[in-house]
Amino acid sequence: MRLRNVKDSDKKISIHPKVVKNEKNYKGKWNKIFNNDNPIHIEIGMGKGKFITTLAKNNPNINYIGFEKFTKVLVRALKNLEEEDLRNVLVIRMDAEEILDVFQEGEIDRIYLNFSDPWPKDRHDKRRLTHHNFLEKYEKILSPDGRICFKTDNKDLFEFSLEEIEKYGWKVEKVTRDLHSNDNGEDNIMTEYEEKFVSMGIPISRLEAVKERLS
């Protein structure tokens, strides 16, 4: 479903206090921006923001940064941010390709990838957020025990991701191909997409990948 453009969306984003401007200037300084030394978790492709705002509300001692490259999606996410008085969440409008320009080595403790674009054609595999080119970027910004949490409704993308992550040498944990049929989904926070897919009976796959390299 295509989203309609929101009038003055660029202006709304440019003046919103939760949207970070000149984000590359804060590399290595994010704890100063949040004014604390709490862990930093990021979500790449935050969509309308339900997932990250719920996490921020439930975990006040963790700082959250959401990435969204599409203006018309991000402007809708801002409504979720406005509904809660959350001091531990910020958002950035940019492509994940530039993530190394935003964070220094070891600055992030967790990365969430929720229902990323599967880029189904083989020639587009490098655009998938679990391709080893992105894993290399994540490895640099994650802390020594940092991890990736990945969810998708796309079976092919999940199998590709599982193989790619294992091939890269990371430890894979908590693998499930039907999150909502077992206890693994007990503490799960659903995104807007996830709610839709679950209501349609589509199984959700999930895994966690630990930066610790296997010997």
Q: What is the pLDDT of residues 175-193, one digit of tens each?
A: 999 998 865 555 789 988 8
Task: Decide if 74 contacts 68 (C-beta within 8 A).
Answer: yes
Higher pLDDT: 1 or 85? It is: 85
Phi-psi region of 28 (alpha: psi -120 to 50; beta: other; left: phi over 0): left
Q: Which two tokens stand for residue 32?
A: 């100063």
Active-site residue identified among 8, 101, 117, 156: 117
Domain 37-213 CATH assignment equals 3.40.50.150: yes
Q: Which residues of 48-73 are buried (b: 16+ CB within 10 A; e: fewer)?
A: bbbbbbebbeeeeebbbbbbbeeeeb
Short-list 140, 136, 141, 134, CA closest to 107:
141
Q: Which two tokens stand for residue 123?
A: 């020639």
pLDDT single digits (tens) 87-106: 999 999 999 999 999 999 99
pLDDT single digits (tens) 126-154: 999 999 999 999 999 999 999 999 999 99
pLDDT of 80 higher than 90: no
Q: Which amino acid is at 155?
A: K
- Unique residue bearing structure tokens 């077992």: 182
Residues making up the annotated binding site for substrate are 121, 153, 191-194
Query: Is 101 tagged catalytic?
Result: no
From the CB of residue 18, how many other CB atoms can be counted at a distance below 10 Å? Answer: 17
Locate the domains of the chain by residue range.
37-213
* 60 phi, psi to nearest 5 deg: -65, -15
pLDDT at residue 186 in the model: 59
**Average of per-residue pLDDT values in the chain:** 90
Q: Which amino acid is at 76?
A: R
Task: Decide if 197 contacts 53 (C-beta within 8 A).
Answer: no
What is the layout of strands, in order, in the sheet containing 142-152?
89-92, 63-67, 40-44, 108-114, 142-152, 205-213, 170-176
Q: Is pTM beyond 0.75 here?
A: yes
At 16, is the secondary structure helix, strand, or coil? coil
